């Protein structure tokens, strides 16, 4: 049995004699997986972020496996990107979109004088018209496309030079594996502040930059504008991303299952 967090994982309590694995996606473990670990129900924990190991007691050899988070097979194998300046900006708000990003990003881009910048914005279901209107209201003169969903994420990542996004575990993991830099604005009130910790993992390795949602909105807009125009920093982010080799998390997990 493999559990992935959330209270449905506690079904493992009813199978004390089974071999039970957990895959913790975030930088800080969720309550359910911590409960199972403390009660010694888990045979092995696969970590999406290595720093999550600080929250577990190593009760046995190879109990914690720094596997990283598996991502979709179609995203594997993207070519490294070397850029002196970036022109393609991808905004992703997740499957439900992000009202905050839908309103913030047009305000940021409305004050930027960079004719070469092209924009793709994934806004979420039923947010397309209001997001398009925000771009027009803020006089964004750059070429932009707003869509509710992105059907081909591989093509979108290949196209992108930099991403603006939230700090969800799988989003961060995808960015690392596809080697794309990002400006990350974590949700401020996520459980255990996990989005901030996920994003800091990315930033501390020199892969991109983190911005706080609950900072003064005008300062946030100004800081994002400066970063979008800062080609030198973006180039350094890619130098760090391209130095790293990233493992196939799915293979690591499969290889460590005792089956």
Query: Residue 82's pLDDT is what?
Result: 81
Two tokens, residue 257: 């299952």
Query: Residue 26's pLDDT is what?
Result: 95
Query: Residue 58's pLDDT is what?
Result: 76
DSSP per residue, 90-123: EEE--TT--HHHHHHHHHHHTT---TT-EEEEE-
> What is the CATH code of the structural domain delimited by 74-243?
3.40.50.2000
Query: Residue 66's pLDDT is what?
Result: 95
99-109 helix and 128-137 helix, angle to the nearest 10 degrees: 20
- 167-203 pLDDT tens trace: 999 999 999 999 999 999 999 888 888 999 999 999 9
Helix (H, G, I), strand (E, B) or coil at 237: helix
Query: Residue 20's pLDDT is what?
Result: 92
Q: What is the pTM of this model?
A: 0.92
Query: Residue 39's pLDDT is what?
Result: 85
Helix (H, G, I), strand (E, B) or coil at 233: helix
Ranges of the chain with pLDDT below 70: 259
């Amino acid at each position: 049995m493999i559990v992935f967090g959330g209270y449905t994982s506690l079904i493992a309590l009813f199978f004390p004699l089974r071999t039970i694995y957990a895959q913790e996606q975030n930088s800080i473990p969720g309550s359910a997986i911590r409960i199972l670990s403390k009660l010694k129900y888990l045979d092995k924990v696969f970590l999406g972020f290595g720093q999550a190991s600080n929250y577990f007691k190593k009760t046995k050899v190879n109990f914690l496996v720094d596997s990283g988070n598996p991502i979709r097979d179609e995203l594997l194998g993207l070519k490294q990107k070397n850029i002196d300046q970036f022109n393609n900006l991808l905004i992703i708000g997740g499957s439900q979109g992000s009202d905050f990003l839908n309103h913030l990003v047009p305000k940021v881009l409305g004050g930027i004088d960079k004719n070469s910048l092209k924009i793709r914005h994934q806004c979420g279901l039923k947010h397309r018209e209001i997001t398009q209107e925000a771009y027009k209201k803020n006089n964004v003169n750059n070429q932009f496309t707003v869509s509710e969903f992105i059907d081909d994420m591989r093509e979108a990542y290949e196209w992108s030079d930099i991403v603006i996004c939230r700090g969800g575990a799988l989003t961060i993991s995808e960015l690392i594996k596809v080697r794309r830099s990002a400006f990350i604005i974590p949700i401020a009130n996520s459980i255990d502040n996990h989005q901030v910790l996920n994003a800091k993992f990315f930033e501390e390795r020199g892969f991109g930059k983190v911005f706080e949602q609950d900072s003064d909105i005008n300062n946030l807009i100004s800081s994002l504008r400066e970063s979008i125009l800062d080609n030198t920093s973006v180039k350094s982010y890619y130098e760090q991303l391209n130095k790293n080799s990233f493992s196939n998390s799915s293979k690591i997990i499969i290889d460590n299952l005792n089956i």
